[in-house]
Each structure stands twice: as C-alpha cells, then as structure tokens.
C-alpha cells in the first residue's frame, strides 16, 4: 500500500513529466527559424507582394531565406500590416527582419526640429521589428563637392539620431554613385567624409559593376565600412548607356560580372555582417530568387 510520502513523490514526478512533455509540445509548435545567413530585400518581390503578400512570403521562407529587408514602410505600415503584425508574420515563417530601406532629403542642422521626427519614428518602427539597420536607399542628389559635403554632414546627423535609439544608419549605392564629381568618386567621397561610428555602407554589387567599380578593390580599400552587402549581378556584355536597356542587363547571381568567389574570400576580413539578395529582374521572379539563393549557398560564410 502506498504511503503519503510515496504518493506525493510519485505525483510530483508525474507532474514533472507532464511539464516536460508540455514544453516539448510547445517547442514543436513554436516557429523554427530558418538556418543560414541569406536574406532577401522585399523589393525583389515588388510586383508580387501587392497581389499576395502572405503567399509570396511563404514561398520565400520555403526556399530557405533566413531574413528579410523591408521597403515601403515610411508610414509605419508594410503592405497594410502594422509593424507588430509584420514582425509576427515573418516570425511565424521562421524569418527575422534585419533592416529596411528608407530615406529623407537633407534636413536642417537642428536635429530637434520637427522634420527630424521622420528618423525618430523610423528608428521606433525598426525597434518594433527587432531590426537594427536603417538604410538610406537613394542619394538626395549632388552636382558639386559642396553638395556632397552637405550630404555627408546630413548622414552623420542621421546616424547620430538613429544611434540614440539603438539603430545603425547606412547608405545603399546605385550605379550613379560610382561616377565622379570634380574628379571625386561620389561613393568614395561619402565614405571618406562620414564618421565610421555613425554611418555604414551597403554595397550593392550589381549596381557597382554597372557603374564601373571594382568591388574587390572597394572592400580592400575601405575595410569594415561595408558590413552589409546587396547581392545582385550585372552582365556587362549587355551593358548600355541607355537607362532602360541597362536595366535589362541585371541578371541572376553567378551569371553576370560580379566576382562573388573573390568577394567571399574577403567577407570575414572586411567585416560582412548582413547578406541580402536584391533581384532587379522582373521575369520569373521566384525562379530567380531561388536560383540566387542556391548560388550563394556554396559559400562558407552563408552557413555560419
């Protein structure tokens, strides 16, 4: 016959087993994050997201993408979803959100002015998403060295405002920034005239090649300034000075002139932290981003 002490002991053991089983069941139900370090800029799906947001993202997750970079969220919404809803949607798909493309014109030197609320709100949105990188997606425009100086000073101020909220601020290049103003390469001038503690750069490889840049040289010359890469590709055999024709030279990763094997040899030494694919083509988009993902999987850095 079981005495009181044995009953209590066995009951406690049974409860413990139930608790463990419950925890295991909950763990199995909880979303499991996708493995690897390859992310996707949602602009790649600019034509698909408005038609079927959740269906498109499920396809991306099924491919194995681990993270996302957002765009078109300046009003605190992402295709009709609040920041809280957006974060939950990606979490349920096993993906994190690293960053967002955004941007403003050059603002006043007084960061307490009302217009600076844009960046303060943006930092708040990113914190809601558990994202830590805000990326200016386009240059305000420059025609002189004085213009570039004003832009660099503005970026330093933006970086300072974002930093106060725990957000890192950076700039994403297009091909135009590889051109020159008064014998200065625009992108390199901005790198040299911004504070590394306040401003990083997201090197878009395809755009850089289109602009005539040597991506390997940029990484070696400015180590630690490019913690984010945009993996895209550009076929110089189809290059044209005519804008619309040049757009057609963007291609799937590994099929253009971006030297990815040489770049990944430098990934660790030059400080790569976030790798994001941006697909510029608009034909067979899902096939393109699946091919891009498969191409990048070959590199050791993506598996860390």
Could you write out the three-class secondary structure of the chain?
A: CCCHHHHHHHHHHHHHHHHHHHHHHHHHHCCCCCCCCEEEEHHHHCCCCCCCHHHHHHHHHHHCCCEEEECCCCCCEECCEEHHHHHHHHHHCCCEEEEEEECCCCCCCCCCCHHHHHHHHHHHHHHHCCCCEEEECCCCCCCCHHHHHHHHHHHHHHHHHHHCCCCEEEEECCCHHHCEECCEEHHHHHHHCCCCCCEEEEEEHHHHHHCCCCHHHHHHHCCCCCCEEEECEECHHHCCCCHHHHHCCEECCCCCCCCHHHHHHCCCCCCCCEEEECCCCCCCHHHHHHHHHHHHCCCHHHHC
Closest CA to 115 of 125, 106, 102: 106
What's residue 8's pLDDT? 46
Q: What is the mean pLDDT of residues 56-77?
A: 97
Which residues is 133 bridged to in the sheet?
Answer: 99, 168
Q: What are phi and psi of 178, to 5 degrees?
A: -90, 0
Q: What is the pLDDT of residues 157-212, one digit of tens each?
A: 999 999 999 999 999 999 999 999 999 999 999 999 999 999 999 999 999 999 99
The CATH label, of 3.90.400.10, 3.40.50.720, 3.20.20.150, 1.10.220.110, for the domain at 34-303 is 3.20.20.150
- Spatial separation of the C-alpha atoms in residues 124 and 116, rounded to whole Å: 13
Whether 25 has a pLDDT exceeding 50, the answer reads no
What's residue 26's pLDDT? 38
Q: Could you give the percent of the chain with pLDDT greater than 90? A: 88
Q: Are 293 and 27 in contact (CB under 8 A)?
A: no
Q: What is the pLDDT of residues 71-90, one digit of tens each?
A: 999 999 999 999 999 999 99
What's residue 30's pLDDT? 61
- Per-domain residue ranges of the chain: 1-30, 34-303
Q: Are 151 and 106 in contact (CB under 8 A)?
A: yes
- Spatial separation of the C-alpha atoms in residues 7 and 112, rounded to whole Å: 68
Closest CA to 193 of 144, 160, 153, 137: 153
Q: What are phi and psi of 142, to 5 degrees?
A: -145, 140
What's residue 141's pLDDT? 85
Q: What is the mean pLDDT of residues 277-281?
A: 96
Whether 27 has a pLDDT exceeding 80, the answer reads no
What's residue 41's pLDDT? 98
What's residue 32's pLDDT? 87
Whether 66 has a pLDDT exceeding 60, the answer reads yes
Q: Are 241 and 288 in contact (CB under 8 A)?
A: no
Q: Are 70 and 100 in contact (CB under 8 A)?
A: yes
What's residue 7's pLDDT? 44
What's residue 83's pLDDT? 98
What's residue 3's pLDDT? 57
Q: What are phi and psi of 184, to 5 degrees?
A: -110, 130
Whether 230 has a pLDDT exceeding 50, the answer reads yes
Angle 44-47-52 from CA coordinates, rounded to 5°: 105
Whether 1 has a pLDDT exceeding 80, the answer reads no
Whether 127 has a pLDDT exceeding 90, the answer reads yes
Q: What is the mean pLDDT of residues 125-132?
A: 98
Q: At what angle do helices 117-128 and 145-163 cross, to 10 degrees?
A: 50
């Amino acid at each position: 016959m079981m005495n009181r002490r044995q009953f209590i002991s066995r009951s406690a053991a049974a409860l413990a087993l139930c608790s463990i089983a419950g925890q295991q069941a909950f763990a199995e139900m909880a979303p499991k994050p996708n493995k690897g370090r390859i992310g996707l800029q949602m602009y790649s799906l600019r034509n698909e997201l408005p038609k079927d947001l959740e269906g498109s993202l499920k396809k991306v997750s099924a491919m194995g993408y681990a993270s996302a970079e957002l765009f078109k969220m300046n009003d605190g919404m992402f295709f009709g979803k609040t920041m809280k809803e957006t974060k939950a949607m990606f979490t349920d798909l096993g993906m994190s959100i690293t960053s967002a493309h955004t941007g403003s014109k050059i603002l006043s030197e007084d960061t307490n002015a009302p217009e600076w609320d844009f960046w303060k709100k943006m930092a708040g949105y990113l914190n809601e998403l558990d994202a830590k990188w805000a990326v200016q997606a386009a240059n305000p425009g420059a025609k002189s060295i004085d213009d570039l100086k004003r832009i660099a000073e503005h970026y330093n101020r933006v970086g300072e405002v974002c930093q106060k909220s725990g957000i890192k601020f950076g700039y994403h290049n297009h091909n135009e920034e590889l051109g020159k103003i008064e014998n200065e390469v625009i992108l390199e001038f901005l790198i040299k005239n911004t504070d590394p503690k306040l401003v990083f750069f997201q090197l878009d490889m395809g755009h850089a090649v289109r602009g005539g840049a040597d991506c390997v040289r940029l990484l070696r010359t400015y180590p630690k300034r490019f913690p984010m890469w945009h993996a895209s590709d550009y076929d110089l055999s189809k290059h044209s000075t005519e804008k619309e024709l040049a757009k057609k030279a963007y291609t799937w990763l590994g099929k253009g002139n971006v030297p990815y094997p040489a770049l990944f040899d430098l990934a660790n030494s030059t400080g790569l932290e976030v790798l994001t694919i941006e697909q510029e083509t608009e034909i067979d988009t899902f096939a393109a981003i699946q091919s891009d993902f498969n191409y990048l999987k070959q590199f050791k850095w993506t598996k860390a």
